[in-house]
Amino acid sequence: MDRDTLRQYILENYAAVNDFPWISNPTYEVFRHESSKKWFGLVMELPRHRLGEPGDDMVTVTNLS
């Protein structure tokens, strides 16, 4: 699933809003509960080596809680 499809799925199926709260990391996208504004998901672009894998290419990482 690509990032746009994931965003569309979350926004259509959950009472959620998304935003990009960090100016220094404009690709980091946060998903929040619409009523409480608490985060439940974060999608970000990271260099592969930050995940302990070889290479410097960028990968999309999703963190859901």
Q: What's this model's pTM, rounded to 2 decimal places?
A: 0.85
Average pLDDT over residues 53-57: 93
What percentage of the chain reaches a pLDDT higher than 70?
A: 100
* CA-based radius of gyration for the chain: 13
pLDDT of residue 9 exceeding 90, the answer is yes
Task: List strand residue ranges (DSSP E) for 1-65, in order.
Answer: 16-19, 29-33, 39-47, 58-64
pLDDT tens digits, one per residue of 24-37: 999 999 999 999 99
Determine the 3-state secondary structure of 48 from DSSP. helix
Residue 6: which pLDDT band, with cuts at 50, 70 and 90? very high
Residues 58 and 50: their CA atoms lie apart, in Å, by 10
Topology given in CATH for the domain delimited by 3-64: Aspartate Aminotransferase, domain 1 (3.90.1150)
Residue 7, token pair as written in the block = 């965003």
Locate 27 and state its tokens.
């690709």
